[in-house]
Amino acid sequence: MKYEPSLLEIVLTKLVFVLYGRSVYKIFSNRLPINGTESVLDFGSGMGTVGFYVAQKLKKGHLTCFDVSKRWMSVCRKTLRKYRNVSFLQSDFLALINDSFDVIFCHFVLHDIPKSELENIIPVLASSLKLGASFVFREPIKETIKLFEIKSLIEKNGLSLKESRITDVPLMGNALESVYIKK
């Protein structure tokens, strides 16, 4: 699925980031299982809203931001320009190295990807996790059928649910946050 955001979507996302960044993105980043030395993938990074807070936490770690959109990746580079522990990967095809990440997170991304594409993406993400590593997502709770598909694909690819919670995200509504572990 090739997607490029409109200029309006970029401006609105920047506005939410400036006004609500701490209550939307920082809270999510603080819940990620990160101590500062991990190799982390931000899948569907968009403008780097969560990555901005994650990069600050990775004092001896590394963040890779991935997005299919050239426009989002350009904005993401600007958002994270002051961090030297960040790399950027823009591609239509997700090709990652097996067992390379300690944490992979997705923030309001998976529900927008068609099931047929998720069937290809989730196995690549799962194989890119080290043993004992975490896969974390936050998705809108109103997408119940899509959440069932996402969770089924994750479990089918060898990840086990560690914890889930429903949260109220300002401007976005209720969301499901789940942490899966590769065993």
Whole-angstrom distance, CA of residue 175 vs CA of residue 142 = 8
Residue 170: predicted pLDDT: 87
Do residues 103 and 41 touch, judged by C-beta distance below 8 A?
A: yes
Match 């097996």 to its residue by tokens: 98
What digits encode the pLDDT tens for the residues 126-139? 999 999 999 999 99
Which stretches does DSSP call E strand in 91-151?
A: 101-107, 129-140
For each of the domains in the chain, give its residue range(s) and CATH number, in order of start: 7-182 (3.40.50.150)
Distance of CA 112 to the CA centre of its chain: 13
Residues 6+ apart with CB under 8 A from 17: 25, 47, 49, 52, 79
Tokens for 109, please give them.
């991304």
Residue 130's pLDDT is: 97
**pLDDT per residue as tens digits for the range 50-76:** 999 999 999 999 999 999 999 999 999
SS3 content of the chain, % helix, strand, coil (to 5): 40, 30, 30
Which parts of the chain sit beneath pLDDT 50? none
